[in-house]
Amino acid sequence: MRVLGIETSCDETGIAVYEDGRGLLAQAVYSQVEIHAEYGGVVPELASRDHIRKTLPLIHQVLDESGLTRADIDGVAYTAGPGLIGALLVGSAFGRALAWAWKVPAIGVHHMEGHLLAPLLEEPAPAFPFVALLVSGGHTQLIDVLGIGRYRLLGESLDDAAGEAFDKTAKLLGLPYPGGPELARLAERGDPQRFRFPRPMTDRPGLDFSFSGLKTFALNTLRTELTEAADPEQTRADIARAFEEAVVDTLVIKCRRALRETGRQRLILAGGVSANRRLRERMNQAIAADGGQSYYPRPALCTDNGAMIAFAGCQRLLAGHTEPLAFKPRARWPM
Ligand code: KG4
Ligand code: ZN
């Protein structure tokens, strides 16, 4: 089965073709980052309009690159939520309409299930069961994964997602959008010893997270330190480093706890923040020291992409899932 995947939940248009048993045949991602940069964040209406412009040309490009025609496609998967509703409507309408015209089944995919299954696109793929840490701009969740579609929520953020905390703190530090990767770059020049940020909710049992306090801590540190700092640029880098260390430490502590409590050996990381180099390094060391294994998709499959949607949709279609012609994207949608 060959499935075309369409991802348009936020500010990336992602298109890919996945073939069951063979893998990824082609993929393309177009990022709207330049459009939104001058506003300091994603402008939903501009995102929708640009998805309309880019979706069909990218589908043509991906089909050309894979040497396929539309007659070779057996199903269409599109992101049905959660995300920006206008942006979701574009991908959903294209996906549903193409499937109807091509007389193949369509399937609306949960964006976070896409992220969750992305590590299975890599070699070696982790075997079930495993614990997944989903860390993106909208979600921070620990999930016990028993198989495809068999997910048990172990814990989640009670306020900001980890990526959201990265983005908001980056803004406080005067960094351009998108803040997460910029903050990580600045942190590389920072001194990890100068400031120590709290590790929220690690001193009590449970697997939930809270990241909004770290942003406030960063703001207060910035206010007190920047007034008398001899070198404001170094102070910013030191704050970025302390913030990143605190987020990474907190995620590592909770992941080890989740593996211990569930008795699982394998941990997968997915979502935009799992592209963070420091997080990967520290998590690898910690999980290996406990005798477990950690898995990550390549960075291009951590952030939003069409490949993960094609893959998740293919698994759903193979399992016999169907949907009616009427489609209903959902801005909010628990997994
Ligand atoms: O999964 P994703 O592309 O989109 C959502 O579904 O949200 O994740 C985007 C998030 C943003 O908050 C971004 O700042 C963060 O992932 N991010 C990073 C890094 N790369 C992306 N955060 C920290 N370090 C990075 N290297
Ligand atoms: Zn995402």
Q: Is 190 in the pocket of ligand 1 (CB under 6 A)?
A: no
Q: How far, in Å, from the CA of 112 to the mean position of ligand 2?
A: 7
Q: Is 276 in the pocket of ligand 1 (CB under 6 A)?
A: yes
**Rounded (10°) angle between helices 179-187 and 232-262:** 110
Query: Which ligand has its closest atom nearest to the C-alpha of 274?
Result: 1
Q: Is 163 in the pocket of ligand 1 (CB under 6 A)?
A: yes
The residue whose CB lies within 8 Å of the most ligand 1 atoms, and thus the one to mutate among 42, 112, 303, is 303
Q: In angstroms, rounded to a whole number, what is the distance separating the alpha carbons of residues 53 and 68?
A: 22
Q: In angstroms, rounded to a whole number, what is the distance separating the alpha carbons of residues 219 and 209?
A: 20
pLDDT value at position 177?
Answer: 87
pLDDT value at position 230?
Answer: 75
The pair of three-digit structure tokens given for residue 58, joined into one six-digit string: 């990218």
Per-residue pLDDT for the chain (335 aa), expressed as one digit of tens each?
999 999 999 999 999 999 999 999 999 999 999 999 999 899 999 999 999 999 999 999 999 999 999 999 999 999 999 999 999 999 999 999 999 999 999 999 999 999 999 999 999 999 999 999 999 999 999 999 999 999 999 999 999 999 999 999 999 999 998 899 999 999 999 999 999 999 999 999 999 999 999 999 999 999 999 877 678 999 999 999 999 999 999 999 999 999 999 999 999 999 999 999 999 999 999 999 999 999 999 999 999 999 999 999 999 999 999 999 999 999 999 98
219 annotated binding-site participant = no
The atom of ligand 1 lying closest to the CA of 271 is 1
Residue 150's φ and ψ, nearest 5 degrees, are: -115, 85
Q: State pTM to two decimals.
A: 0.94
pLDDT value at position 295?
Answer: 96
Candidates 304, 248, 316; CA nearest to 118 is 304
pLDDT value at position 229?
Answer: 66
The pair of three-digit structure tokens given for residue 315, joined into one six-digit string: 């698994």
The complex's ipTM?
0.98
Question: Dihedral of CA 165/168/174/179: which sign?
Answer: positive
Q: Is 138 in the pocket of ligand 1 (CB under 6 A)?
A: yes
Q: Is 303 in the pocket of ligand 1 (CB under 6 A)?
A: yes
